[in-house]
Amino acid sequence: MRRKLIVLAVMAAIAAASGFAADRQKLVWLQWTNEPQQKAIDAVVAAFQAKYPIDIEFEFKPGSSEGENLVKTRIAANDMPDLLTYNSGSLFQVLNLEKNFVDLSNEPFASKLLDSFKSVVSAGKGFYAIPYQPIPAGGILYNKKVYAELGLKVPKTWKEFTANCDKIKAAGKVAVIVSYKDDWTAQLLFLADYYNLQAAYPKFAQDYTANKAKFATTPAALRGFEKIQEMFTKGYINKDPMATTYDNAQAMLANGEGAHYPMATWVLASINQNFPDKMKDIGFFAQPGDSADKNGVTLWMPTNISIPKTSKKIDAAKKFLDFFVSAEGLAAYMSVGAPDGAFAIKNVKMPEGLFPATKDAITYINANKTAPALEFLSPVKGPNLPQICVEAGMGLKTPAECAAEYDRDVEKQAKQLMLPGW
């Protein structure tokens, strides 16, 4: 029924567009392909087009580094669209924001956004983008049915977690699903361990950016690689890890073939696409650390929408951003289904029907037990991390060797950014 309404809304918008074509402006939005939230985005766009005489047309770009190179090339060639979807944090900040993007700090909607979000899309005095999705939380997704069958409790410490894994393994199930064919997924146990690292070494990000702290020589930082390897040495992981994809892993988790999947909550939207009836079986908990009273989640910052300075329709584009974070825009966003996390926008009332895993993640946020992922605190992130995590996860190298290798890898990034102290 809802889908029909959207279709009607889109058709109405198209009809309106063709009726007054001469008066309508057109914005081009460079969006990435395979966006799991695209349905929600389309709903916002349709509502916006119905309200304003402005049309939005999508251009699509690939995700990950191919998309990054495309954007960098288009910036260099002065060939940018009116709106751009991009990662927040260090990846966005290397795009030379002050020179290439429109400052939004004097816009009326600026005060609505969470400061923690603004800080990861800012440079100098300005900030340059609005949040595009709910806030993803990194940790461990688990199958509640498996937990109920085996009488397990959500673990608060790493010891409890491995004890659970032992029981699951003994019951003949896969304790931890890994999908190394899509090697970026191998990083999650490492990246989502940042809450624990920060708990043990609060100034790590600062010292790390200043080249004073290293992964290889900081025991709490080394834990990330050790945890990845432990999954392998203790035999918790599924067979054929190198041939298992992100999609395969989602199916294994949803069907209860595997009990845990270390991932961030952004995966929920795509699980929901393929297994909507299994969403009730999937829960979420923070990646456990060494002590039960220091247990919290690592948060990613949402992907963002920004306006390149070369756009000739900056005012229209600003109207769209304003609409996107307005109550109306959010209502349209949530009209296609419950969001998969909290918004980076102040005072948003969450609707009914959230996924159980989303509720679990929001509990940590409400209890203020969160830390941002390292890539939002430091611009230094090495490009080879996925492969290095696979090396740890397949037992090709020891965690110490992996950490040393990663330290060398980030050095390149720091030099490229010309950071002081490197």
Residues that bind another protein (CB under 8 A): 65-66, 68-69, 72-73, 75-76, 94, 96, 180, 183, 239-243, 382-384, 387-388, 390-391, 394, 396-397, 405, 408, 412-413, 415-416, 418
Amino acid at 416: Q
Amino acid at 321: L
Q: How far, in Å, CA of 261 to CA of 282, rounded?
A: 10
Q: Per-residue DSSP letters for 275-310? A: -GGGGGGEEEEPPPBSSTTS--EEEPPPPEEE-BTT
Comparison of 94 and 348: residue with beta carbon closer to another protein: 94
Comparison of 180 and 284: residue with beta carbon closer to another protein: 180
Question: What is the closest distance, in whole angstroms, from the C-beta atom of residue 66 to another protein in the complex?
Answer: 7
Q: Per-residue DSSP letters for 252-266? A: HHHTTSEEEEEEETT
Closest CA to 245 of 169, 177, 165, 175: 177
SS3 state at 90 = helix
Question: What is the closest distance, in whole angstroms, from the C-beta atom of residue 257 to another protein in the complex?
Answer: 13
Comparison of 107 and 183: residue with beta carbon closer to another protein: 183
Comparison of 272 and 378: residue with beta carbon closer to another protein: 378
Question: What is the closest distance, in whole angstroms, from the C-beta atom of residue 318 to another protein in the complex?
Answer: 25
Question: What is the closest distance, in whole angstroms, from the C-beta atom of residue 242 to another protein in the complex?
Answer: 3
Q: Give the orientation angle of helix 314-324 with respect to helix 327-334, to 10 degrees.
A: 60
Contacts of 34 (CB under 8 A, 6+ apart): 63
Comparison of 75 and 271: residue with beta carbon closer to another protein: 75
- Encode burial over 270-281: b for 16+ CB neighbours within 10 A, e otherwise: bbbeebeebbeb
Question: What is the closest distance, in whole angstroms, from the C-beta atom of residue 338 to another protein in the complex?
Answer: 35
Question: What is the closest distance, in whole angstroms, from the C-beta atom of residue 192 to another protein in the complex?
Answer: 21
Comparison of 189 and 330: residue with beta carbon closer to another protein: 189
